[in-house]
Amino acid sequence: MTLLKLNRDRLTPSLEEPLVEVSLEDWRDNPQIHADATALIIGNDAPLSDIKCDLNGFGVIILNFPGFKDGRAYTQARLLRERYKYTGEIRARGEILRDQLLFMVRCGVNAFEFASEDVAGANGALRELSFAYQPAADNAAPVWRRRLARAAAA
């Protein structure tokens, strides 16, 4: 398993740092016991609407992607970035395919536990689409906004 981290629009291999992981359910049950936790694991079926803890107290939030057909963790990543203003590392864990990397980054994921050793291929996946059509957590300017700005400048 290769840990890839996003740094200036490029994925780079990173050394696996030791984390003290705790699941969201265990954290909710007794946060005092897990006060030393540095990573929060959120299952893709966990509702984020009732999170009461300060998420920025965790350096890493790990989202589970159990299968490529299940997109709930994409929504969780966007909610963490946009609604809960989480600024730390959001790490994707599970079945992660090369074709999903760009969309995960657009949703706010910035680290990946990637099964493939092909870092160049992973970086190529981030450059396959040159324009974004919707606003997202990555703050890339959508093509329609670029067109409006160009028209206004003319």
Please write the tens of the pLDDT for every residue from 14-29: 887 889 999 988 988 8
The total of other beta-carbon atoms located within 10 Å of residue 112's CB is 27
- 70-93 average pLDDT score: 93
Helices (H), 1-154: 24-29, 72-82, 101-107, 119-126, 143-153
Better pLDDT: 132 or 60: 60
Number of H helices, E strands in the chain: 5, 7
- Enumerate the β-bridge partners of residue 112: 4, 92
The confidence band for 52, taking pLDDT boundaries of 50, 70 and 90, is: low
Rounded Cα distance, 141 and 127, in Å: 15
